[in-house]
Amino acid sequence: MIKTVEEIAYKCGFTHIAPINIPQLEFLQEVRDMCISGQCGNYNKSWSCPPACASLEEMRERVKTYTHGFLVQTVSDIEDSYDWEGMMAAEAQQKRNFKQMWAELKKEYRDILALGSGACKICEPCTYPDNPCRFPNKIEVSMEASGLFVSKVCKDNGLAYNYGSNKIAFTSCFFVVA
């Protein structure tokens, strides 16, 4: 099964993949506190972000229902640490890879939990809080909004998080029942 998911990931454009040890995952209030502090600017502005997304306990319980998890990354070259355009291009590539892999996995697996990188950008602007989410089956909740400390999840599962200077990595994950 891991081979099939690896093949799908690479076909979709990801540069790295690693299986997740699901029982080892920690859903941390400290990560949610970063959301609350406004570090990314999306707290209380999107259905995919706190407080609208699932609670930490709901995420813990939901993830336990899956038999397999996979981290996927898009690692890209950037000119330097100030290359904002390069960073945004890499993020856009990660989101394209993520959507394509989600669609491919839906062909193979009935039940999938997909956690992206960064806030959902399907609808701009988001309908939150005045109207329901337009696409509840496509919403892209991030690993961070779910309470996962991405660098720790990568380290705990044998995947690098930092690839050195002039590189940027975006990380997402998928959970399936097989």
- Quote the longest CA-to-CA distance of the chain: 43
pLDDT at position 118: 82
Contact indicator for 69, 20 with CB cutoff of 8 Å? yes
pLDDT at position 72: 97
pLDDT of 28 strictly over 80: yes
pLDDT at position 2: 63
Q: Which pair of structure tokens corresponds to residue 133?
A: 């989410």
Which of 32-46, 83-97, 157-171 has the lowest average pLDDT? 32-46
Give residue 4's pLDDT band: very low, low, confident or very high (50, 70, 90). confident
Nearest CA to 126 among 135, 114, 115, 117? 135
pTM: 0.91
H-type helices in 55-157, by residue range?
Answer: 56-63, 84-108, 150-156
Q: Which pair of structure tokens corresponds to residue 27?
A: 């859903």
pLDDT tens sequence across 65-86? 999 999 999 999 999 989 999 9
Give residue 169's pLDDT band: very low, low, confident or very high (50, 70, 90). very high
- Return d(Cα 136, Cα 144) in angstroms, integer: 19
Burial track 140-157 (b if 16+ CB lie within 10 A, e otherwise): bbbbbbbbbbbeebbebb
H-type helices in the chain, by residue range?
Answer: 2-11, 29-36, 56-63, 84-108, 150-156
How much is the average pLDDT of 6-15? 95
- Return d(Cα 32, Cα 133) in angstroms, integer: 21
